[in-house]
Amino acid sequence: MDLHLLVDNLTNPALLFFFLGIIAVQLKSDLEIPPNSSKFISLYLMFSIGFKGGLELSHSDLDMEILWSLLFGVFLALFVPIYAYFILRRKFNVANSGAIAAAYGSVSAVTFVTAVSFLEIEQIGFGGHMVAVMALMEAPSIIIGVLLMAYFQKDKKSAVKLNGVLHHSLTNGSVLLILGSLVIGFLASDQQARGIEPFTTDIFKGFLAVFLLDMGISSGKKLNDFLKKGWFAFFFAIIIPLINGCIVAVVSSTFTESVGNRFLFAILAASASYIAVPAAMRLAAPQANPSLYLPMALAITFPFNITLGMPLYLYIVQTF
């Protein structure tokens, strides 16, 4: 691996703010981001990346590569939770296995946003349609996780209602905002887009740094309790995303030659949802343990992907 990629990533100010958040928790500092501010920043990041993706998509020709990209994203969101579920059932019950499988089949929008920032630092372009791919991968994995739990649940009376979960996953705030912003960006003219460019582009990295600081604080609070639960979940949270990311980094070359697009596919395959899926599982599987699947995605997989995962996946894409 080219070490400069790793060094550049680890010295990225936004990532260093993430580590600052973890350190603050370990030092028992009272540093925190107000919940309302944190929610606003997360909404801003979804809005900005969706709008810019739609703008890029409006300048792209709708060809077979875009169609195959969308189909491949949906396939990953359907396939990953199925095979992950049967691995997880070796240690966990049906509810926990289904919830974790859904989280790892779904995607982390914040990881995607961080990966986009990484590509910008490396001056590597990507297609605006990748934002649509990310948005489409949210709901299918949640549905698959719910179906797996419903099928294998011994107590059929506790089977979840699919209609409610489907509606919740499709109208989830982050999914709705990023899809809506994508459409608005697609419809906007270049002149109209330049009018809000200072908001959508110039302050993006600053807001990302503050948000990652908040993510570091959240991760630090959940890490210690999670490590007491055993090593199987810890290794699953690293090895499965690593396998997914590395394989997809290579396989994606069959339908796109874009380094940026292949890298983002690898990140999407390797990421795990800690926003949309936990919200859906609160409704679909209240018996699943959130102190298990939430720290796995947020405190283990997310830090791994944004520190070591991103330079590794980019190296694989550039090598193969």
Tell me the residue length of the chain.
Answer: 320
b/e map 128-148, b = 16+ CB within 10 Å: bbbbbbbbbbbbbbbbbbbbb
pLDDT at residue 315 in the model = 95
Distances (CA, A) of 71 to 197, 308, 317: 31, 28, 20
pLDDT at residue 157 in the model = 53
pLDDT at residue 163 in the model = 65
Number of other residues whose CB lies within 10 A of the CB of residue 304:
18
**Tens-place pLDDT, residues 54-72:** 888 888 777 899 999 999 9
Nearest residue to 95 via CA among 236, 292, 238, 233: 292
Specify the pTM.
Answer: 0.86
Distances (CA, A) of 50 to 12, 89, 100, 261: 23, 36, 26, 16
pLDDT at residue 307 in the model = 94
* C-alpha span between 29 and 20 (Å, rounded): 11
Contacts of 262 (CB under 8 A, 6+ apart): 249, 252, 253, 256, 317
Domains in the chain, start-ordered, CATH in brackets?
3-22+34-319 (1.20.1530.20)
- Average pLDDT by stretches of 10, the chain with 320 residues: 74 91 93 89 86 84 88 96 96 93 92 92 91 85 86 63 64 75 90 89 90 90 77 94 97 96 98 84 81 90 95 95
Nearest residue to 266 via CA among 303, 307, 313, 302: 313
Note the helical H segments in 158-275: 162-170, 173-187, 190-195, 197, 204-227, 231-251, 259-270
pLDDT at residue 161 in the model = 60
